[in-house]
Amino acid sequence: MDIRELKAKAVQIRMDLLTMIHRAKTGHTGGSLSNTDILTALYYRIMKIDPARPKWEGRDRFIASKGHSVESLWCVLADLGFFPKEELETFSQFGTRLIGHPNNKVPGIEMNTGALGHGLAISVGMALAAKRDGKAYKVYCLMGDGEQAEGSVWEAAMAGPHYKLDNLVGIVDRNRLQISGGTEEVMGLEPLEEKWASFGWHVVSIDGNDMGALVEALEAAPAAPRKPTLIMANTVKGRGVSFAENVPHWHHHVPNAEELELALNELTAALELLKQEGRVQ
């Protein structure tokens, strides 16, 4: 997909996840909206994947370490055909596979996540296995910024450069909000980029809701040989829904019928604008 097509796909994924959360009456809305652009760039442009062969050995691996923001991931996997899109209607219902965190009983999910701080360590192991087995696949790990307060993140951060894992790409969804407030009030993280660089990572800071910037950074990785890459994706929590953006309450707020209608109207307008831009070009 080109950049305009990726932008349009991200809008559609946002519409799908909001509808799904509203139907289920549960979900992590704000973080799923902030990471939608990241997932769209990865799955529709960057990663080597095959929905028909989810266990293909040569596939790139994706770990959603911030597993609570799974709604956008479920919508992406369904849209790509890893499982029927109709199954989204069962999200968080009794007996479903589509629970509130990644579940490796679902095609396309590498590991169960949810307890924060574990995903990067697993990703280090996967990347190291690729190196030792002579495989060419890359490993992408999406972390939350609130998750950066977990000590296990920094143990893994030491291991990545130690093993010279230039096939490993960490991404921080830096929306500066977590369930209990702003990250700098809950547990100050800054200077976060300098911390990652001091651990030996090649650090790239971008606007994580700018599709062009995301594609450029992800296509360039690894940008430094024998070093893992850390992309600091500066995002807006609740991105795409004006009344949800940068509002802590929307961390796990479920849109009511009126809010859903307003949000879908905004996103439909954004989608129409992208279509008009395409026709002009």
Q: How far is CA 86 from the centre of its chain?
A: 22
Query: What 3-state class would DSSP assign to 63?
Result: strand
Higher pLDDT, 40 or 115: 40
pLDDT above 90 (res 83): yes
For the chain, report the end-to-end CA distance as a whole number of angstroms: 16
Rg of the chain's alpha carbons, rounded to an integer? 18
pLDDT above 90 (res 114): no
What is the pLDDT averaged over residues 131-146? 97
pLDDT above 90 (res 4): yes
Sorted by sequence, the CB contacts under 8 Å of residue 2 that are 6+ apart come out as none
The pLDDT-based confidence of 281 (bands split at 50, 70, 90) is low
The answer to whether 167 and 222 have CB atoms below 8 angstroms apart is yes
The answer to whether 7 and 274 have CB atoms below 8 angstroms apart is yes
The letter for the amino acid at 15 is M
Query: What 3-state class would DSSP assign to 232?
Result: strand
Class of domain 3-280: alpha beta
pLDDT above 90 (res 278): no
The answer to whether 218 and 41 have CB atoms below 8 angstroms apart is yes
The secondary element (H helix, E strand) that includes residue 143 is strand 139-144
The answer to whether 111 and 102 have CB atoms below 8 angstroms apart is yes
Q: Specify the pairing of strand 181-182 against strand 168-174.
A: unpaired
Q: How far is the CA of 187 from the CAs of 3, 26, 43, 145, in angstroms? A: 35, 27, 32, 10
